[in-house]
Amino acid sequence: MTHRMTTSFGGLLGGIGLTSHRDLPGRRGQAMPARFPRKRQDGTFSVDVVFASAAPPSRGEVVEWLQEWISSNGVWIREWRGAGDQVVQTDTLRFAEAFLANPRPVQWGDGEYVVRLDGTSVAPFWKDWMVRLVGDVTARFPALTFQTARDSQE
């Protein structure tokens, strides 16, 4: 079945007579469960960020760099810009609000180079942090190539 969505002053979903994504046919009143990341009973989660490399940096070098990265980037002031490059919104994001621990290598060899992120139960903006970290890791260590992010095996 196809739904035509139109924008109205009542909101995007209001344009098709819905008040929530939960009102879509077959989903009335039901929230779609998150499939990724898999959450523990207490709501926390762990995500493994996987890289590949033919000539990776040493694990120690990455550990040291990650510590420096957290010191330099633990608070992120993100600006949203509109027309004329004018700042329309500013968010102050804190790594420690989204994660239980600093990112750390958990596997370093056998063709996979894995950095783990342990998220809090509320984990605001965890994906934004992950994307930023991946970009910074690959900029600092060009031999590493991002492969995927997956639920931790632990």
Cα 6 to the center of its chain, rounded Å: 29
C-alpha distances (whole Å) from 44 to each of 38, 47, 117, 133, 137 are 9, 10, 11, 19, 24
Least confident range from 28-37, 106-115, 122-131: namely: 28-37
pLDDT of residue 68: 97
DSSP letters spanning 46-77 = EEEEEEE-SSPPPHHHHHHHHHHHHHHHSEEE
How long is the chain?
Answer: 154
When pLDDT is averaged across residues 71-88 and rounded to a whole number, the result is 90
Condensed to tens digits (0 to 9), the pLDDT of residues 30-72 reads 666 667 889 999 999 999 999 999 999 999 999 999 999 999 9
Least confident range from 23-37, 97-111, 113-127: namely: 23-37
Least confident range from 8-17, 24-33, 98-107, 135-144: namely: 8-17
Q: What 3-state DSSP class applies to 31?
A: coil
C-alpha distances (whole Å) from 49 to each of 37, 59, 82, 84 are 12, 15, 32, 36
Judge contact between 15 and 7, C-beta under 8 A: yes
User: Hey, what domains does the chain have and what are their CATH numbers?
Assistant: 1-29 (no CATH), 45-151 (3.30.70)
